[in-house]
Amino acid sequence: MQPVESLSATPSAADSPASRYSHATILVCRPNTRLGNALLMTPLIEEIEARLPSARVEILTACPAAHEVFREYPSVRRVHQLPFRGARHPLRHLLTLLRVRRVRYDILIDPCPRSWTSRFLARHFAARLKLGFSSGHKADDIDLSVPFAGAPPHMGEYPVYLLRRGLLGLEEDAARAEFPKLGIRLTEAERTAGREQIGRLLGPAGAGPVVAVAAHATGAKRFTVDWWRHMIASLRTRMPGVTVIEIRPPNGVAALPELPAYSSRSVRQVASVAAAADCFVCADSGLMHLGAATDATTVGLFKVTEPRLYAPRRGASCALTASDGAPEGVAERVAQLLA
């Protein structure tokens, strides 16, 4: 696949795509509400900053925490925040879209191969070049499309592949080289605050390894409270010195009220506490992706979704499926990681 023509009026044949697009204004069109999907866009922003260090990025999203997710990315100049429930706030929704539509971007990226909404909006925004996937879910109706059939399956990787193949014109092997990981880019002050918070929760008793668990999840992804208690008991049998804390949802509702617990409406504060633990265990969820976006050793538990699409991939992090996700098996794996 060849890169598209330069945005410059007088391109030089010796120019690389990276140099031609290095000062581009880029809109990433991902109007989704979920925290996990916002975090899964961070490898794309990492890649843009590495390949196009002077590019200016704007992001269209409906994730309420998007400003926190992208706060430490200097390339992200603006986050266009659609209301979480657009049908309840039609005027705000419309004004946000009109604000984006008034801008003529150099490049628009539609990074999702399955979202009809993102492609619909991409058609109606102004950009000199529009980049996206072609697949059975989307017609080949933008300026430059990349077949999704050849892309890696992980949702944090295929937007990077799209950029490498479509905009930068890299060959297949180069486009599949090591991918950036999810990253929320905690500051040192935030990491220190996370360690201090765990210290306050545990006091002098918290001398051994600390495991944070998040027992809440949506629908069929959820593991029962009895399952969590069985797993924790099994872990304590294997590692008597371990301390377990619960990361609760923003409303503070406890699944495991017997455990020391932390809750916050700030995803960065939650991330700092997860990163300060020795291991973070949770079901496939936005919190799992939040842990995977830090240095936390994250164990993701999967029941109904595909690990190859969502598995945490930083450091020693891993995914366990329902087939090998019996409480004792998970406890054994966590003990191995802590050892």
Return the pLDDT at 206.
Answer: 61
pLDDT mean over 219-244: 94
Q: Which of 175, 198, 228 is the last residue of a domain?
A: 175
Question: What element of type H or E holds 14?
Answer: none
pLDDT mean over 157-179: 96
pLDDT mean over 114-127: 92
Return the pLDDT at 339.
Answer: 87
State which residues form the domain around 149.
Answer: 17-175
For 235-273, the DSSP string reads: HHHH-TT-EEEEE--TT---SSTTS-EE--S-HHHHHHH
Q: Which of 175, 198, 223 is the last residue of a domain?
A: 175
- Contact residues for 337 (Cβ-Cβ < 8 A; gap 6+): 279, 297, 299, 316, 318
**Reported confidence tier of residue 117, pLDDT bands at 50, 70, 90:** very high
Beta bridge partners of 210: 243
Percent with pLDDT over 70 in the chain: 92
Domain count, the chain: 2
- Residue tagged 């998007």 (tokens): 66
Q: Which of 175, 210, 232 is the last residue of a domain?
A: 175
b/e sequence 213-237, b meaning 16+ C-beta within 10 Å:
bbbbbeeebbbeeebbbbbbebbbe
pTM for this model (two decimals): 0.92
Return the pLDDT at 5.
Answer: 40
The CATH code of the domain that includes 50 is: 3.40.50.2000
* CA 326/CA 113 separation, integer angstroms: 34
Q: Is residue 4 part of a domain?
A: no
Return the pLDDT at 3.
Answer: 41
**Reported confidence tier of residue 139, pLDDT bands at 50, 70, 90:** low
In one-letter notation, the amino acid at residue 162 is L
* CA 144/CA 135 separation, integer angstroms: 13
